[in-house]
Amino acid sequence: MSETLKLTKSVVEQWVVTDQQAGQRLDNYLVTRLKSVPKSHIYRLLRTGQVRVNGRRVKPDYRLQEHDTVRVPPVRRDAPEAPKTPSHGLVAVIADAIIYDTPALLIINKPSGVAVHGGSGLSFGVIELLRTLYPNAPLLELVHRLDRDTSGCLMIARKRSMLRYLHDLLRNEHDIEKTYVALVAGRWPERKREVSAALRKNTLRSGERVVRVDDEGRESRTEFRVLEKFAGATLVQATPKTGRTHQIRVHAAHAGHPIIGDEKYGVDTVNAEFRQLGVRRLFLHAASLRFADPTTGHEIKVEAPMPADLDDSLKSLRGKKA
C-alpha cells in the first residue's frame, strides 16, 4: 500500500492584512499563505465566494488594503513536502537577465518561455527564481505581467511603497510608458498610427482565456509606428495607451496584421511560413519602460536588448526585404 500524506487540522481562519502585505492581489496572497493547497482549489474557493474580505465577496484580482480581514473557510492541507529547488542554470539565466537593480525595484529582460509565476505545469517562474536568487528579500512582488512567450521589460518591486507607486502610475495609464517591438504579418500602412477598439475578456468552455474586440468591452488604445518593412511582414513599435490583457496582440489582429508566431490570435499558415524563415515563437518584445522616479522626480528609462533569437530572425528576413 502506498503511503498517504497526513492532513493538517482544518479550521476557519481569519487574517488581518499588514502594511507589508497591502497592495497584493487577493489570489496571490492566498497562494502564498496556503502553500500546500492546490491553486485550483484556492480559485474554486474564490469563485464560490467562500473567501471573504471584510465580510464581503471579492474578485481574485482585488487589491488588499492594510487592516483588511480575510476569512478563509476550513481547508484541508497536505503535510508539506520537501520544497523543489530550481537548477543553478535556470537561476543564472534570471540573474543575467537583470537590467535595473535598486533596493526598491528590479527590472529584468524576461526570457521568452519563462512564466512570471510557477503553475500550469511549470515548477518555477520568474518570482520563484528570484526568491531563490534573493532568499532573504522581504518582498519580491510583480508590478505587472507579461505573457509567457513575450520577452522584455518586467518590473518586480522590492518595497511595498514602490509597488503602490507603480500601481498608481499604471492605473493612471499615461504616467508610465511601455513600448514594444512586434513583427506583424503583411504591410502595415504608415498612416495607421493608432488602433482604438474596446476589448472584452472571454473564457471558453475549455477554460482557455481569450480577449475579443467588443463594443461593450473596456476602452483600449494602442499606438503603432512602422520601423522596418520586409517581404510579407512589418516590424512595428507598439505603445499601449491602456493596459488590457493581450491588448497589442488583439489590436494587431483586429487591424488585419496579426503578430507573427501568435498561436492564439494569429494565422496558422502565416506562422508556418515564417517558422521556415526562422521566426519560431511569438515575435513580441517589451523593449522599454519610462516613468518618473518617486523620490527625485527624474525620468527613469530602461531598455531591454532584443533577444538573440528575434535578432537572428530579423537578420534572416533582411535578405528578403520588400
What residues act catalytically?
147
Among 123, 49, 121, CA closest to 81: 123
Distance between CA 229 and CA 251 in Å, rounded?
19
Q: Which three cell numbers stand for residue 47?
A: 469563485
Reference 237, options 192, 281, 292; nearest CA is 192
CA distance 65 to 79: 30
DSSP per residue, 1-51? -PPPPPB-----EEEEPPTTTTT-BHHHHHHHH-TTS-HHHHHHHHHTT-S
Closest CA to 97 of 170, 157, 155: 155
- 3-class SS at 248? helix
122: how many CB neighbours lie within 10 A of its CB? Answer: 13
